[in-house]
């Protein structure tokens, strides 16, 4: 793709991003819910950790970071579909997007990127403020979000989160493309949300799952959404292990994008042959 | 060399059928039955650069299908179609950059963006150089009187304003060809007139080729010298409006203002459609000049008006005759 072509897509991302920044009330409502849930989770985990007989595979400090990162970055994960996109399928106006001189996959990918990141940015500031500052002020020091242990951890976390954004968008694209074949996307989206929360590690951090599921958990793509970046942040994944995990994320992004492009091509053939 | 060449174009859709009731619902889970519907059954036409052509037909005639094929978003089942030297659906991305398409029924602007931001985004998408964009936008804003609308989000525009913005957005990248699918649907008389005026202007100024579908034959009369009529997926006629009128309607209304209340001879009495004192409307099915000559020689006449039938009647007759 030439730089000139890329500019078009960047314009799509930035325009959509700016539009979505208008939805401030939804973001405030969202972060209030997420903070509440974060506190509930921490209550449950601290109860478990107090009665634990063996040393759990994640330190409590790591758990705190894991929970707050999950709550603050909640909107980043592929648990819902852009309502605009759904409306487009319902009204059958998908075909009209093909009137633009853009690759349909790249066009939608750009919009999805904006849809995932804009609400996240809105929620991030109040969320982090609560996790870092408010909790300290009220004296709940154990539950205060810790800082990354090193500069390397912080920097690798940043790279990893960028890959999470790409991974999330590429998963989302598969859900969107499935709408070409399904009349209603709601079933697919509900299924998706369940899968993402459990396999990503949002419900229970993945290292706390029983040993016998670990081989499966370590290879599935959803781990790249929460588990990898969050544990890089807390230093639980460190040293050369980080490189391996970043490659793991990148590989899944590549696989899912290729799958999406291939499916999109088939969908477009179906659309152009069968009509919108 | 024609700019748009369409030959033997056919399109059939496959539609899944389900038998009614519970049994049908269960059956269709395992075995689907399909029915083929022919939307186009061999359409031919050629359009030269700068022409403005009306494309009309009743609902379901195949107008939108044709437009979608020409716009590169639908692949025909058979036939040839070459626009600007390329086959639309084969090189979609480079092709759609050269055309403009407006669907009166649905906007292609971004719903929650101010109009000017939609335009800016289109500039990026179509990679229009900045200075070209400025000139183009200035021209469109002036012709369509858009300046008060530019900062309004699209969702707050009235239908007329929205359609104007949609048409402008389809022309920002200075396409050579403009496809308009029912551009004046639902518009009031004043807005309609201004949209028509604009289309005419842009056709002349930029030498844009226009293909326009509509149900409002006023559009056709105001804009198009040539009109293609289709029904049921085939071309019924391809001619000028006047030819169409002469070909299909062999009767005219003649309104005569007599000097005094005339004593009509019986042969003329049979032709009377309407009588208002000294003003009488006749139906003339024979040669019009003979009829007028006869009348002037026999009666004292103040004024004669020959009314051509409205184009609606011509078209209705054409649709009916094709059934």
Domain boundaries along the sequence of chain A: 3-274
Q: How confident is the model at residue B277 (pLDDT cuts 50, 70, 90)?
A: confident
Closest residue, chain B, to A95 (C-alpha): B73
For residues B204-209, average pLDDT: 92
Residues of B with CB below 8 A from A98's CB? 72-73, 92, 96
pLDDT of residue B282: 84
Residues of B with CB below 8 A from A84's CB? 111
In DSSP terms, B80 is beta-bridged to B7
B139 vs A86, higher pLDDT:
B139
pLDDT of residue B266: 67
Give residue B292's domain range. Answer: 250-307
CB contact under 8 A, A275 and B13: yes
Choose among B72, B74, B96: nearest Cβ to A275: B74
ipTM of the complex: 0.84
Domain count, chain B: 2
Task: State how far the Cα of B162 lies from the Cα of B110, in Å rounded to an integer.
Answer: 11
CB contact under 8 A, B74 and A12: no
Residues of B with CB below 8 A from A11's CB? 120-121, 124-125
Choose among A95, A102, A276: nearest Cβ to B125: A102
**CA distances (Å), origin B202, targets B46, B52, B198:** 21, 11, 6
Choose among A22, A93, A272: nearest Cβ to B74: A272
Is pLDDT above 80 for B221? yes
pLDDT of residue A99: 92
pLDDT of residue A275: 63
pLDDT of residue B27: 73
Choose among B96, B106, B112: nearest Cβ to A101: B96
Residue-wise pLDDT for B67-88, tens only, equals 999 999 889 999 999 999 999 9
- Asked if the C-beta of A190 comes within 8 angstroms of chain B's C-beta atoms, the answer is no
Closest residue, chain B, to A23 (C-alpha): B112
For residues B143-164, average pLDDT: 92
Residues of A with CB below 8 A from B72's CB? 98-99
In DSSP terms, B47 is beta-bridged to B4
> Are B239 and B254 members of one domain?
no
| A236: nearest Cα among A225, A227, A244 | A227
Q: In residues, how long is chain A? A: 276
> Are B173 and B296 members of one domain?
no
> Are B273 and B186 members of one domain?
no
Of the residues B211, B246, B281, the one at which a domain ends: B246
CB contact under 8 A, B106 and A96: yes
Buried b (16+ CB within 10 A) or exposed e, A40-63: ebbeebeeeeeeeeeebebebbbb
pLDDT of residue B323: 66
Q: Which parts of chain A have pLDDT scores under 70?
A: 1-4, 183, 274-276
Of the residues B198, B224, B246, the one at which a domain ends: B246
| Chain B nearest CA to A43, separation (Å) | 41
> Are B277 and B219 members of one domain?
no
- Asked if the C-beta of A15 comes within 8 angstroms of chain B's C-beta atoms, the answer is yes
pLDDT of residue A120: 93
> Are B129 and B254 members of one domain?
no
Task: State how far the Cα of B301 lies from the Cα of B309, in Å rounded to an integer.
Answer: 23
> Are B116 and B189 members of one domain?
yes
pLDDT of residue A2: 65
When the pLDDT of each residue in chain B is averaged and rounded to a whole number, the result is 87
Of the residues B193, B212, B246, the one at which a domain ends: B246
Residue-wise pLDDT for B281-316, tens only, equals 888 877 778 888 888 888 888 888 887 777 777 778
CB contact under 8 A, B68 and A275: yes
| Chain A nearest CA to B37, separation (Å) | 11
For residues B231-253, average pLDDT: 82
* Cβ A252 vs Cβ A200: under 8 Å: no
Choose among B108, B110, B113: nearest Cβ to A96: B108
> Are B183 and B278 members of one domain?
no
CB contact under 8 A, B127 and A7: yes
Residues of B with CB below 8 A from A10's CB? 124
pLDDT of residue B319: 80
Choose among B75, B108, B111: nearest Cβ to A273: B75
Residues of A with CB below 8 A from B110's CB? 15, 19
> Are B175 and B267 members of one domain?
no
> Are B255 and B237 members of one domain?
no
For residues B251-270, average pLDDT: 76
| Chain B nearest CA to A210, separation (Å) | 40
| Chain B nearest CA to A99, separation (Å) | 6
- Asked if the C-beta of A139 comes within 8 angstroms of chain B's C-beta atoms, the answer is no
Choose among B110, B112, B124: nearest Cβ to A7: B124
Residues of B with CB below 8 A from A274's CB? 13-14
CB contact under 8 A, A272 and B73: yes
Q: What is the 3-state secondary structure (H, E, C) of chain B?
A: CCCEEEEEEEEEEEEEECCCHHHHHHHHHHCCEEEEEEEEEEEEEEECCCCEEEEECCCCCCHHHHHHHHCCCCCCCEEEEEECCECHHHHHHHHHCCEEEEECCCCCCCCCCEHHHHHHHHHHHHCCCHHHHHHHHHHHHHHHCCHHHCCCEHHHCCHHHHHHHHHHHHHCCCCCEEEEECCCCCCCHHHHHHHHHHHHHHHHHHCCEEEEECCCHHHHHHHCCEEEEEECCEEEEEEEHHHHHHHHCCCEEEEEEECCCCCCCHHHHCCEEEEECCEEEEEECCCHHHHHHHHHHHCCEEEEEEECCCHHHHHHHHHHHCC
pLDDT of residue B30: 74
Least confident of A121-130, A185-194, B34-43, B256-265: B256-265
pLDDT of residue B267: 67
| A105: nearest Cα among A260, A241, A251, A275 | A260
Is pLDDT above 90 for B99? yes
Residue-wise pLDDT for A36-45, tens only, equals 999 999 999 9
Task: State how far the Cα of B218 lies from the Cα of B193, in Å rounded to an integer.
Answer: 10
For residues B106-116, average pLDDT: 87
- What is the DSSP pairing of strand B177-181 with strand B209-213? parallel
pLDDT of residue B263: 74
Residue percentage of chain B with pLDDT more than 70: 97
Asked, for residue B167, whether it belongs to a domain, the answer is: yes
Choose among A19, A91, A100: nearest Cβ to B96: A100
Residues of B with CB below 8 A from A271's CB? 73
> Are B66 and B129 members of one domain?
yes
């Amino acid at each position: 793709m030439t730089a000139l072509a890329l500019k078009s897509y960047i314009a799509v991302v930035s325009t959509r991003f700016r539009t979505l920044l208008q939805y401030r009330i939804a973001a405030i409502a969202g972060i209030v819910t997420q903070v509440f849930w974060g506190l509930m989770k921490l209550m449950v985990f601290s109860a478990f950790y107090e009665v634990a007989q063996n040393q759990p595979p994640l330190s409590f400090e790591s758990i705190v970071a894991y929970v707050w990162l999950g709550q603050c970055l909640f909107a980043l994960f592929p648990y819902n579909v852009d309502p605009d996109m759904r409306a487009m399928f319902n009204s059958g106006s998908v075909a009209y997007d093909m009137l633009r001189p853009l690759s349909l996959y790249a066009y939608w990918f750009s919009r999805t990127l904006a849809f995932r990141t804009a609400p996240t940015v809105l929620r991030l500031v109040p969320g982090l403020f609560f996790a870092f500052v408010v909790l300290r002020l009220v004296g709940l020091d154990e539950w205060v979000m810790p800082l990354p242990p090193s500069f390397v951890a912080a920097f690798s976390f940043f790279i990893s989160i960028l890959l999470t954004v790409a991974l999330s968008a590429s998963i989302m694209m598969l859900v969107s493309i499935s709408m070409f074949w399904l009349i209603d996307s709601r079933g697919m989206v509900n299924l998706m949300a369940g899968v993402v929360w459990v396999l990503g590690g949002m419900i229970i951090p993945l290292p706390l799952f029983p040993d016998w599921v670990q081989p499966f958990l370590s290879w599935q793509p959803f781990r790249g959404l929460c588990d990898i970046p969050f544990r890089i942040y807390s230093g639980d994944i460190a040293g050369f292990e980080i490189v391996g995990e970043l490659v793991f994320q990148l590989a899944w992004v590549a696989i899912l994008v290729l799958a999406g492009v291939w499916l999109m091509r088939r969908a477009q053939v179906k659309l152009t042959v069968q009509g919108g | 060399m024609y700019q748009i060449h369409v030959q033997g174009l056919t399109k059939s859709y496959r539609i899944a059928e389900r038998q009614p009731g519970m049994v049908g619902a269960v059956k269709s889970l395992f075995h689907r039955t399909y029915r083929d519907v022919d939307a186009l059954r061999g359409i031919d036409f050629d359009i030269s650069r700068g022409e403005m052509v009306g494309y009309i037909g009743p609902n379901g005639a195949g107008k939108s299908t044709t437009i979608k094929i020409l716009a590169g978003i639908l692949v025909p089942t058979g036939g040839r179609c070459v626009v600007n030297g390329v086959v639309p659906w084969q090189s979609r991305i480079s092709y759609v950059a050269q055309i403009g398409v407006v669907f009166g029924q649905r906007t292609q602007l971004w719903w929650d963006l101010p109009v000017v931001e939609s335009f800016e985004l289109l500039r990026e998408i179509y990679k229009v150089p900045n200075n070209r964009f400025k000139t183009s936008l200035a021209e469109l804003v002036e012709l369509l009187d858009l300046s008060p609308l530019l900062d309004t989000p699209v969702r707050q525009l009235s239908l007329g304003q929205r359609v104007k913005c949609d048409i402008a957005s389809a022309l920002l990248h200075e396409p050579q060809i403009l496809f308009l699918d029912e551009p004046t649907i639902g518009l009031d008389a004043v807005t309609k007139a201004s949209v028509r005026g604009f289309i005419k202007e842009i056709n002349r100024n930029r030498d844009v080729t226009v293909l326009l579908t509509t149900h409002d034959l006023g559009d056709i009369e105001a804009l198009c010298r040539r009109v293609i009529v289709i029904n049921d997926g085939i071309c019924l006629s391809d001619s000028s409006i006047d030819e169409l009128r002469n070909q299909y309607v062999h009767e005219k209304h003649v309104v005569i203002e007599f000097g005094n209340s005339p004593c009509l001879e019986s042969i003329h009495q049979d032709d009377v459609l309407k009588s208002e004192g000294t003003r009488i409307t006749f139906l003339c099915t024979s040669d019009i000049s003979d009829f007028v000559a006869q009348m002037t020689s026999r009666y004292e006449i103040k004024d004669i008006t020959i009314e051509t039938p409205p184009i609606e009647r011509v078209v209705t007759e054409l649709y009916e005759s094709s059934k």
